[in-house]
Amino acid sequence: MFKALVVEKAESGDTHASVQNLEDSRLPEGNVTVAVEYSTLNYKDGLCLTSGGGLVRNYPHVPGIDFAGTVEASEDPRYREGDKVVLTGWRVGEVHWGGYATRARVNADWLVPLPEGLTTRQAMSVGTAGFTAMLAIMSLEDHGLAPGNGEVLVTGAGGGVGSVAVSVLSRLGHQVAAVTGRPALEPYLRDLGAHRIVPREELAETVKRPLEAETWAGCIDSVGGPMLARVLGQMQYGGSVASVGLAGGANLPATVIPFLLRGVNLLGIDSVMRPYADRVRAWTRIARDLPVEKLEAMVQPATLSDLPDLGAAILKGQVQGRVLVDVN
């Protein structure tokens, strides 16, 4: 038997989540079985815990787009019983049962070994959000961002992607400007390493002029929508924006002028289908560049039964930092 948070859908279309004990025979197909220790809460989990957001295909469903734990059984030569592993992406927790359970069965191709220097708890304190923040930083670096180039803007800074981005960028020696809609988060963001707080309202208006003062050397954007459009017009010559999320909307009411006159780059960041080599590179960088003491400050512990409420909260932008789920 294993314990799982199961989301069921009624004929009315309403969903309901509850913690249940399930037989092992209910586990989905896969060649590696993992004793899950920790999972997390990401924006997508908020959708899968509530309406499904078009991500979940079949009910009953076990959400949880990421987890870390210990291999219990493996039919794949790359993993053996006792190995510590991490999983993010590959639509686990969306179309495949995920990490909100004490046991998960997955495809070995989706796993990476737990990076040296991190515990399973720390890996899930980082989770998909932090992993994606690191992919964004690596992409900005690949396009020339280096400490000393100028201020790096992080939008949605109080959230999971934003919090990890702020602390890693600051540790790497960048000057970080953090955009938040929650003024009360200023001390938290400054502790993570932000040197400037930008109130969300300052970037909320839609583009009036396609080019504004050249302000940012780089940007990690979790928000999208009109805010991303504004930021594009404020980038320094040749600067890059890593587009990670859509917390503020999926539309992009922008002009192409920043690309044509300032050589600005808009870099797409996908964490879900990332090839294995990139994943290992990103986790190795996380183990090296994320200050562990800052990570602790970001973490809000939770259990499986807390998740339905927390799922609704993250969709309203009310979660601070990272929610760490002890599934046991």
**Contacts with ligand NDP, residue ranges (CB under 6 A):** 42-44, 128-129, 132, 156-162, 180-182, 185, 200, 222-223, 227, 244-248, 269-272, 314, 317, 319
CA 2 to chain CA mean position, Å: 26
Q: At 56, is the secondary structure helix, strand, or coil? A: coil
Residue 207 and residue 214: Cα distance in Å, rounded? 15
Helices marked H in 238-304 — which ranges?
Answer: 257-262, 276-289, 292-298
Instruction: Give how far Cα 137 sits from Cα of 104, 124, 284, 320, Å.
Output: 30, 19, 13, 21
What are the backbone dihedrals phi and psi of residue 225, each rounded to the nearest 5 degrees, phi first? Answer: 60, -150
Among residues 124, 287, 143, 300, the alpha carbon closest in space to that of 220 is found at: 143
Tokens coding 249: 């909307």
Task: Give 315 or 327: the residue with its C-beta nearer to ligand NDP.
Answer: 315
Task: Give 27 or 241: the residue with its C-beta nearer to ligand NDP.
Answer: 241
Residue 36 and residue 87: Cα distance in Å, rounded? 10
Residue 148 and residue 151: Cα distance in Å, rounded? 8
In this chain, which residue has its C-beta nearest to ligand NDP?
159
Task: Give 71 or 153: the residue with its C-beta nearer to ligand NDP.
Answer: 153
Q: How far is the CB of 321 from ligand NDP (least distance, A)?
A: 8
Other CB atoms within 10 A of residue 144 CB: 13
Residue 161 and residue 248: Cα distance in Å, rounded? 14
Task: Give 27 or 203: the residue with its C-beta nearer to ligand NDP.
Answer: 203
Q: How far is the CB of 137 from ligand NDP (least distance, A)?
A: 13
Q: How far is the CB of 1 from ligand NDP (least distance, A)?
A: 31
Reduced 3-state DSSP string for 181-209: CCHHHHHHHHHHCCCEEEEHHHHCCCCCC
Task: Give 150 or 248: the residue with its C-beta nearer to ligand NDP.
Answer: 248
Task: Give 71 or 319: the residue with its C-beta nearer to ligand NDP.
Answer: 319
Residue 254 and residue 21: Cα distance in Å, rounded? 50
Task: Give 32 or 192: the residue with its C-beta nearer to ligand NDP.
Answer: 192
Among residues 18, 21, 19, 20, the alpha carbon closest in space to that of 9 is found at: 18
Q: How far is the CB of 315 from ligand NDP (least distance, A)?
A: 8
Q: How far is the CB of 224 from ligand NDP (least distance, A)?
A: 7
Q: How far is the CB of 2 from ligand NDP (least distance, A)?
A: 26
Q: How far is the CB of 42 from ligand NDP (least distance, A)?
A: 4
Q: How far is the CB of 48 from ligand NDP (least distance, A)?
A: 11
Q: How far is the CB of 148 from ligand NDP (least distance, A)?
A: 26
Residue 304 and residue 301: Cα distance in Å, rounded? 11
